[in-house]
Chain A
């Protein structure tokens, strides 16, 4: 009995793990805000199974560097720059979870689930990148205008939502400059709509917005009346990424001069390096002749000012301070930050300097309705297939067949849980593979049951027949499943998206069927035999 108990515990644990893996959970999704038309983050409760583009609709693009107008020497670098650029534009796509990844060396894959307009998506991706350097708002003109902006918003009837109290600011930047505390004290006197959402950053013109508030703040600063209230000569630019300060994530908002001191056109070269003397990460860059002349003038005027590096309207990293006049050759020092960050900055600079013209080599667009139809049809086919399998198994093997069917439901549960747990994507061929594998999954049970029947014919006792049946069938089961897994592995290695989805469901399905058909069914048999020790004939 103890052995059976152990087996039941194990099966129970597997079931619990599978159910936990499949419980609908809150997933953060970016959706279009109906009122503003911009992207915002919401949490949606859904099954944690990723659907492929062919099931939820969307656009798949494969891009390469356009070599038709002359060869591009280093396509890998060009593709990396392009990836960096497309990533900064990610917010512009009207999709939930854009996938941007480099495939191989010289190909960029962009997958936009739910995107409907291929022309628009292609436009965003293929637009030339624009890099500019701008001085941040050194005179704090924007901050001085904040009370006025708050007043404008109050007049327009915008109410402060969940405004943080100034004391929170003080706590947050307690160890910071004394300036920050003074500013928050000033804010305390006038808890305005916008000013209550902004925290003073570490340098002039830098403000921090809690990550969850930034769509709201963005919608506020985009209002025409607010734009009119921002001082002339100042513009607002968001940071490219959220950064964590302590336990919370913040998005930086920069007030910068509206006129760039130099643009990416003048940049010739930028690399990442580690300074051999100071062991600090640096990014040396080189400017063109014309650029050097402008830059030396501008930097002479702005010594000790901060310079924001803006790619496609997004500030990249923290603006460095200008230490002195810079001519054709300059370098950005990142201090003790890892070299990776320096490489990233160099990539940004190069992306703005040398736009890589991209050409589309593979394009696939699937409408959401077709995807929904595919899911519906696939599920119907699956249900019918399962019913047929149940009829055949129970009709032929009776009670033993019913045990196999019970194991089959566990098989379905395990397979879906496996897909969810490892984050694999379910595609239409994957769905077909799942349906197919239900037919194949019972093979192990068929082999075992036939073997038990043979052992019974040979005159063995029930118990012995069951034990030997399982034992003798094992060879054939293992052999046949290994051969299928091997071909599925090859498919996974060589295939692309949908085919890989098929291979994955097949592999997970086979592993799940081994567990359910052998282990679970054997346990059920053991329980059955123990309950009825007097049984003479087996319903098989």
Chain B
């Protein structure tokens, strides 16, 4: 049998400061980009009109842009969509938003007018068209925000129910990291933020949490099993033990998201980008965020008994030598620790 990372013995936790720096840098760059450019919200959130159309022969986007300026849609975008003969025109509501749905209709009519002028009436085939009023846009913004907040609350409740609070807090920090990193990625890639992309972010939340839980499950189990080792060693041991699973599962999942990214067409591409990045960051955060944060929390608020955990005696060793799990779990529990009740 092939065994990847069998009896792996890497000191993951040692690299936590490097990992923090790298992810901190990504987030910083993302935050700067976010402030400078802002997120690329889709029509669903901003209100306005977007038209995806196909033409037989390539047209100059400059002409379309000029025509859009001509009808008074200054902030409108024109860009290629997948192929040379497929374009998207997107006009946000802007100051028309105050006119409500009449303004929405006016923008939609202006876009149609500009296309007739620049491409020629009947010269283009509309593949997809969407007009959203300001009220629906605001509603969807609220819904998306609520979905993200709600998923955090539900996650917290579930973790509180399933794990001791230190574990839960560490998992939430890791998940929050994923959301921030994914938003930074979306901003840097200038991906269009639609409801579907918000859905992808929430799926990333679920996936990342799932991954963290797998490792924490093992940590909990090992804490009970190897009572002489400190948390630092236990964390490293658990990550190493679950490493083959991580590689395999992330391998199959990445295989599917990459095939979506490359083959499933332009419409679903932002979704596939977010999922691909999310799987990467979810894996990263389970190892380099969740575990070190748990270590830090434990240092700050040492636990006497932790429903499945136990007292952690020594802190991280001065020289983080490779931990060696004992071949047989020690049979006598330490005197001052009650047996975890489960």
Contact = CB atoms under 8 A, between A and B. Distances in A.
A384 B272 CA distance: 15
Interface stretch (A169-177, A178-186, A324-332, A445-453): A445-453
Most buried by A among B2, B129, B241: B129
A385 B256 contact: yes
B102 interface: yes
A490 B101 contact: no
Contacts of B241: 454
Interface in A49-80: 54, 62, 64, 66, 68
Contacts of A366: 127-129
Given A429-B199, A491-B202, A385 B259 contact: yes
Interface residues of B, number: 73
A438 B256 contact: yes
B101 A359 contact: yes
B195 A495 contact: yes
Nearest to A440: B253
Given A361-B104, A476-B217, A428 B143 contact: no
A442 interface: yes
B324 interface: no
A388 B248 contact: no
Given A377-B265, A388-B252, A479 B260 contact: no
B165 interface: no
A262 interface: no
Contacts of B202: 487, 490-491
B316 interface: no
A494 interface: yes
Contacts, number: 234
Contact of A486 (B104, B131, B151, B275): B151
Nearest to B144: A494
Interface in B60-104: 100-102, 104
Contact of A370 (B128, B155, B211, B213): B128
B173 to A, nearest CB: 16
A488 interface: yes
Contact of A442 (B132, B146, B207, B249): B249
Contacts of B257: 436, 439
Report the interface size class on chain A. Answer: 35 or more
Interface string A370-383: 10011001101110
Interface string B263-282: 11101100110010000000
A260 B108 CA distance: 40
Nearest to B220: A475
A365 B128 contact: yes
B255 A378 contact: no
Nearest to B125: A367
B255 A392 contact: yes
A482 interface: yes
Given A377-B264, A428-B268, A490-B151, A483 B252 contact: no
Interface stretch (A85-93, A348-356, A498-506): A498-506
Nearest to A368: B127
B57 interface: no
A362 B131 CA distance: 6
A396 interface: yes
A432 interface: yes
Nearest to B218: A476
A363 B199 contact: no
Contacts of A540: 1
A393 interface: yes
Given A381-B260, A484-B210, A389 B203 contact: no
A539 interface: yes
